[in-house]
Amino acid sequence: MCARELISIDEARERVLAEVRPLATEHVPLSAGRVLAEPAVAYEDLPPFDASAMDGFAVPGADAGTLRIEGESRAGAPSARPLADGTACRISTGAVVPEGTYAVVPVEATEQRDGDVVVPATDAGANIRRAGEDVRAGEAVIAAGTEIGPAEVAVLASLGAPTVVCARIPLVAILATGDELVEPGMDLAPGQIRNSNAYGLAAQAERAGARVVMRERVADDLAETREMLAHALASADVVCVSGGVSVGPHDHVKPALAELGVSEHFWGVRLQPGKPTWFGTAPDGGLVFGLPGNPVSAMVTFHLFARPAIRALQGADPGIGAARARAGEPLRRNRKRDQMMRVRLEQGDDGWVARPTKAQGSHVLTSMLGADALARVPQGEGDVATGERIDIELL
Ligand code: AMP
Ligand code: MG
- The 10s digit of each residue's pLDDT in 305-363 is 999 999 999 999 999 999 999 999 999 999 999 999 999 999 999 999 999 998 888 88
Ramachandran sector of residue 86 (left: φ over 0; alpha: ψ -120 to 50; beta: rest):
left
Residue 3 has pLDDT above 70, yes or no: no
Any ligand 1 atom below 6 A from CB of 247? no
Mean pLDDT of the region 73-89 = 95
What separation in Å is there between the alpha carbon of 250 and the centre of ligand 2?
A: 7
Any ligand 1 atom below 6 A from CB of 301? no
Any ligand 1 atom below 6 A from CB of 315? no
Q: Which pLDDT score, from 0 to 100, does residue 1 have?
A: 47
- Higher confidence at residue 5 or residue 15? 15
What separation in Å is there between the alpha carbon of 364 and the centre of ligand 2?
A: 17
Any ligand 1 atom below 6 A from CB of 216? no
What separation in Å is there between the alpha carbon of 102 and the centre of ligand 2?
A: 77
Q: Which pLDDT score, from 0 to 100, does residue 364 have?
A: 87
State the closest ligand 1 atom to the C-alpha of 220, by its place in the atom list counted from 1.
3
Q: Which pLDDT score, from 0 to 100, does residue 5 have?
A: 87
Any ligand 1 atom below 6 A from CB of 193? yes
Mean pLDDT of the region 124-131 = 97
| 14: three-class secondary structure by DSSP | helix
pTM of the model: 0.91
With a CB cutoff of 8 Å and minimum separation 6, the contacts of 247 are 1
Q: CA of 215: how far to CAs of 172, 276, 344, in Å? A: 9, 22, 30
